[in-house]
Amino acid sequence: PVPYPCVLTYRGERLVQDAPGGAFTRWARLSPDKKRLILLPGAEPQGWEVSVRDAAVRILNASHQHYRNILATGSTNDGFNLHGPATDLVFENIQACHNLDEGFSAHDQIDCTVRGGRFWENDNGIGNVANCVMAATDIETWSNLGWGIWLRDCRATLSGVKSWNNGISQIYFDTGARVTCEDVTYAPAAWTERPWTSYKESRRENLQPPYLVRADAEVSGQVPQEVANPQTLQAGT
């Protein structure tokens, strides 16, 4: 048995815990020792996945590489986990979902480009830290448990970015972030309290503004724009 938290999915849907009480919102409940899954009425034994691998795609100290058309899912860490130093890493048409930590996360002097990325039902959609540099175009983050996009102590250029229905904030430029934005939009969540439990960096946070910038972060270019209706941002629109 693998003690929870790990990543549990039922027929392609991630099981999430409600933030106030920690109960799964549907399909099952945990045994008292958190090692057994007890199915609720309507859930069947078939169609379950319990993910225990550490990372789906891991890159360590590797430069001048190009990754295309990858779905990274079901890890207990990040879907795309990048550690450097490294330069000239390019990602095209990537997706990451159902990861216990970020869908995409760059650390340690990574210099990367993302052209087309979809990130959902992770702890956070994108979370970059520690002196990395990212140029990201055509990005969508939604239904992540914590933050849609979270940047700290790093640089980024964001273009054509949409973020909605994430649990805590849609876009969070944390301490030391240096970000240039163009055509970045977000929609405020419908809830007044955070709905889901998260497990990594955002686990102790309460609901935050949909667009949050720390005092020592710097944002240039076009100010990210809020739209009232998240349906105008949904994938494929």
- In 3D, which of 149, 158, 99, 145 has the Cα closest to residue 127? 149
pLDDT at residue number 237: 44
Instruction: Write the single-letter amino acid at 35.
Output: K
pLDDT at residue number 3: 74
Q: Please tell me the distance from the alpha carbon of residue 167 to that of residue 178, in angstroms, as a whole number.
A: 24
Return left, alpha or beta for 19; rule: phi > 0 is left, psi -120 to 50 is alpha, else beta: alpha
Query: Can you give the pLDDT of all 237 residues of the chain as single tens digits?
Result: 667 888 999 999 999 999 988 899 999 998 988 888 899 999 999 999 988 888 899 999 999 999 999 999 999 999 999 999 999 999 999 999 999 999 999 999 999 999 999 999 999 999 999 999 999 999 999 999 999 999 999 999 999 999 999 999 999 999 999 999 999 999 998 999 999 999 999 999 999 999 999 999 999 999 999 998 787 787 544
Contact 10, 48 (CB under 8 A): yes
Burial degree of 123 (CB within 10 A; 0-12, 13-18, 19+):
buried
What DSSP line would sit under 67-113, residue for residue?
EEEEEEE-BSS-SEEEESSEEEEEEEEEEEES-SSEEEEE-SSEEEE
Q: Which two tokens stand for residue 156?
A: 């980024």
CA 156, 119, 122, 183 torsion: positive or negative? Answer: positive
* Residue 152: CB atoms within 10 Å: 17
Radius of gyration of the chain (CA): 17
pLDDT at residue number 1: 64
Q: Please tell me the distance from the alpha carbon of residue 149 to that of residue 128, in angstroms, as a whole number.
A: 9
